[in-house]
Structure 1
Amino acid sequence: MPKHTVQQSQLFGEALEDKRGADPVVPSRIPSTSPFHQPRALTESERERYRKMSQESRRARESALSGNGPAPIHEINIPRLDPLKLMPQVRRNGLRTLSLFSGGGGLDLGFDRAGFEHVASYEIMNDATATISAARPEWKVFGGEGGDVRNVDFRQWKGEVDIIHGGPPCQPFSNAGRQKGHLDERDMWPKFVEAVQAIKPIAFIGENVPALASAKFSNYVNTSIIEPLSKNYHITPVILEASDFGVPQVRRRVFFVGFRTKKAAARWSPPTPTHFWGERQLDSGTERCMGLREALGLADIGVDDLSPTIRSALTGPRHTTSILNSVAAQRRFEAMEIWPNGVAATREQARAFVAKNGHFRLSVPDVALIQGFPEDWPFQGATYMALGQIGNAVPPPLAYAVASSVSAAVAK
């Protein structure tokens, strides 16, 4: 086990031993190779309880999938939401895009539906590049070592690209990632800036978690993004809410939108909401955003709400198939009678694997829908990897809205 893990656990133990008496905090048996993982401070009895829960869940899943579990209590759901209707395909606008940190293709899909021509995608995770390639076999996609932006000379794309878009890893700025900013080796904003400077596109769109726009990182944003790019670009940051564009989830993202000419920057306006939730209707031109149960096609139980922000299953030292990110989120899912842990690969498997409390178990296609991906977007890899791609993605309808606003400002 890494030295830092033992030391941190010992420190937590010293702080909590008085409260827990003879049952001190002990380190986890699960090795973590990530220097960014902060182990939970748990006693041996608490760890044993979690082990038993995990073992029971695994046995229950195996039993259910072999046909020996409890009888299913939910029908296979037929979603009411069609994300493609939130982003109708428009004619090509003559603008060519280069995608960086492409992940499972949220930005790529949104820009494609908004009429942009895809030039290439760069993504380091092989399963994510396989997803984009399966969805769009005709696209040029660089993956693995070839998709690592640290290995790319972006001058090769100068004159071939009009728009650069991408979402550098958000972990350096998110609560789950411990917010180490530039001290986190996953900080790839300098590479995004380097690509823009090398290619000199007419516009760029960089996105991240809204925490990047907070006071905590204001100095970082100014010195690492705004100052190096403002010599040639007029840059505007904007925070957008996914439900304002029909995505049935509480999810906010910050976008840095830059234009090379003052004229294009003056023409650009942040996308106007097309949907509303609850009492937030802005005008008669907006539509009501579906709640989670309605979007999934579940029965009306008198309670519905937007989904809590789904987390990436790639967070933490080990694989997980949970999309739960907080106690508050757990309460919201419980109120809607939806089980967010142990997400199944398919709807058939989700139906067979009955949750202890009888709530509706989510499947990968359901979680993809919550994020605004169409039913046929072919996420590749194991369940945890598919959920990781979904949880890390920009909701495509939100990407579509930003892409459309940029197109209106710079379209040829």
Structure 2
Amino acid sequence: MQSAELFAGCGGLALGMSRAGFRHQHMAEFDRDAVATVLHNKAKGVEHVRDWPMDLQDVREIDWKRLTSLDLVSGGPPCQPFGIGGKKRGQEDHRDMWPEAIRAVREAKPRSFLFENVRNLAGPRFRPYLEWIVSHLERPGMARETGESHAEHHARLAASRTRKEFNVVWQLVNAADFGAAQIRHRVLIFGIRSDLNVLPTPMTPTHSRDRLLWEQYITGEYWTRHGLKKGRVPILLQDRARVERLKRADVEPAGAPWVTLRDALRGLGEPDGKCNHVLQVGARVYPGHTGSPLDLPAKALKAGDHGVPGGENMMVRDDGSVRYFTTREAARLVGLPDDYEFPRSWTESMRQLGNAVPAALGAAAGGWLAAQLDGGKASSGLASARRAA
């Protein structure tokens, strides 16, 4: 299936889509350092990346009409206008690129699209803007007129009797529920062209915390898998009731367990100075600033380094000490292969990784979309994506 991606960053979403069977015909990113990272790995011949047509480009300069016969347009418009940090100016922020994402859909007329953003977009402050985004994606041909407010445009879109150009669904997801080694909450917006007569449904999680707790504290197979003694880590207070419920039910939870930090870093060992696996000193704990425990998915990586407020870019080791993730470890949490290198500094690399969509989430979403476009049949791309995850 043929695809195009805007706001590609260092390639997390694109890699997931590639693993799901999509072939990128165009990729655009405005950040020079992120493009340099992708091109570095393209030159190295990293699987999938070697075929990416990555370009340093402002999406506002793209003529999408020349990209015909696309099965998918995907991307993650900059989240800073809607994030928890910052000034939260939303659509008034000059970095808001949702109008450009919608323009891409309007001009390219792909069979489907997938966009992701921070969950704050679905919160009370920005919910009206999310509703405008969805309404406009349903009818991208009804462009906003000069001087027309978003509320006025939304009302005009909602009152339209014309057939929707796309069937659209949005949902809040936790990347850990789809095989990522991060607890990362995002908004996903899917659309399928209405002439295909497919009504998209929300994605169904493939991984769960209950299954992880089952394997940790009931069967013990999680600890066996890591060569550790069963029950070596006490049950967290907030999980005790869940474990007791699982014991009483005595029914093995379906699906796969959440992927933990220990799972993701297995076999990597302590920093050895090779291939981005370099120790960064100075990590410390203080109230509100704690690292990620090894036996849960990591906290969501943040696009910062020492200044990250919740200690999201640190791990808590078995002896209780903390240290910062190396670039290599953070790349594993995003789902990038070990031969995927970051040629810039740790600070810059962590910024890129903190902004990246986990590849496992991208693969799950891409496989889900491919199956929808294929009439609900499981695609070979989805199967390969699951194997890669």
Shorter-chain-normalised TM-score: which range?
Answer: 0.5 to 0.7
Name the residue aligned to 1:362: 325
2:173 to 233, 240, 261: 240
**For residues 220 and 267 of structure 1, what CA distance do their matches in structure 2 show?**
21
CA drift of 1:263 comes to 5.3
1:312 to 303, 318, 321: 303
Name the residue aligned to 2:364: 401
CA drift of 1:126 comes to 1.9
**For residues 328 and 175 of structure 2, what CA distance do their matches in structure 1 show?**
18
**For residues 308 and 252 of structure 2, what CA distance do their matches in structure 1 show?**
33
**For residues 223 and 105 of structure 1, what CA distance do their matches in structure 2 show?**
28
CA drift of 1:295 comes to 2.8
1:288 to 229, 251, 257: 257
**For residues 307 and 359 of structure 1, what CA distance do their matches in structure 2 show?**
13
Contact 1:268 1:408 survives alignment (8 Å) = no
Name the residue aligned to 1:255: 188
Deviations 1:337-381 (A, max 9, x none): 67xxxxxxxxxxxxxxxxxxx534421000111222222222332
Name the residue aligned to 1:177: 86
**For residues 51 and 368 of structure 2, what CA distance do their matches in structure 1 show?**
26
Deviations 1:35-94 (A, max 9, x none): xxxxxxxxxxxxxxxxxxxxxxxxxxxxxxxxxxxxxxxxxxxxxxxxxxxxxxxxxxxx
Alignment of structure 1 residues 208-287 onto 2, 5 Å: 208-230=117-139, 231-261=164-194, 264-266=197-199, 268-276=201-209, 277-278=212-213, 279=242, 284-287=253-256
When the two structures are aligned, how many residues end up with a matched partner? 284
Contact 1:310 1:324 survives alignment (8 Å) = no
Instruction: Give 2:364's aligned amino acid.
Output: A
Pair 1:121-2:31 in alignment: no
1:325 to 305, 309, 317: 309
TM-aligned CA distance change 1:236 to 1:228, over 3 Å: closer
2:64 to 135, 154, 168: 154
Alignment of structure 1 residues 4-403 onto 2, 5 Å: 95-133=1-39, 134-135=41-42, 136-143=49-56, 147-157=57-67, 159-230=68-139, 231-261=164-194, 264-266=197-199, 268-276=201-209, 277-278=212-213, 279=242, 284-297=253-266, 304-313=295-304, 321-322=305-306, 324-326=308-310, 333-334=315-316, 359-403=322-366
CA drift of 1:175 comes to 1.1
TM-aligned CA distance change 1:335 to 1:114, over 3 Å: same
Contact 1:258 1:265 survives alignment (8 Å) = no
Q: CA RMSD in A?
A: 2.8
Q: TM-score, normalised to structure 2's length?
A: 0.66
Q: Looking at CA atoms only, which structure, 1 or 2, has the larger radius of gyration?
A: 1
Q: Matched residue of 2:339: which SS?
A: coil
Instruction: Give 2:328's aligned amino acid.
Output: P
Unaligned runs of 5+ in 2: 43-48, 140-163, 214-241, 271-292, 376-389
User: Quick one: percent identity of the two aligned structures?
Assistant: 29
CA drift of 1:139 comes to 2.1
CA drift of 1:311 comes to 0.5
Q: Matched residue of 1:266: which SS?
A: coil
Q: Matched residue of 2:173: which SS?
A: strand
**For residues 92 and 329 of structure 2, what CA distance do their matches in structure 1 show?**
36
Instruction: Give 1:148's aligned amino acid.
Output: D
Q: Matched residue of 1:265: which SS?
A: coil
**For residues 197 and 72 of structure 2, what CA distance do their matches in structure 1 show?**
13
Instruction: Give 2:105's aligned amino acid.
Output: V
CA drift of 1:198 comes to 0.6
CA drift of 1:176 comes to 1.6
**For residues 217 and 129 of structure 1, what CA distance do their matches in structure 2 show?**
30
Q: TM-score, normalised to structure 1's length?
A: 0.63
**For residues 250 and 337 of structure 1, what CA distance do their matches in structure 2 show?**
23
**For residues 72 and 252 of structure 2, what CA distance do their matches in structure 1 show?**
32
**For residues 261 and 82 of structure 2, what CA distance do their matches in structure 1 show?**
28
Instruction: Give 2:14's aligned amino acid.
Output: D
Deviations 1:96-119 (A, max 9, x none): 110000001111100100111111
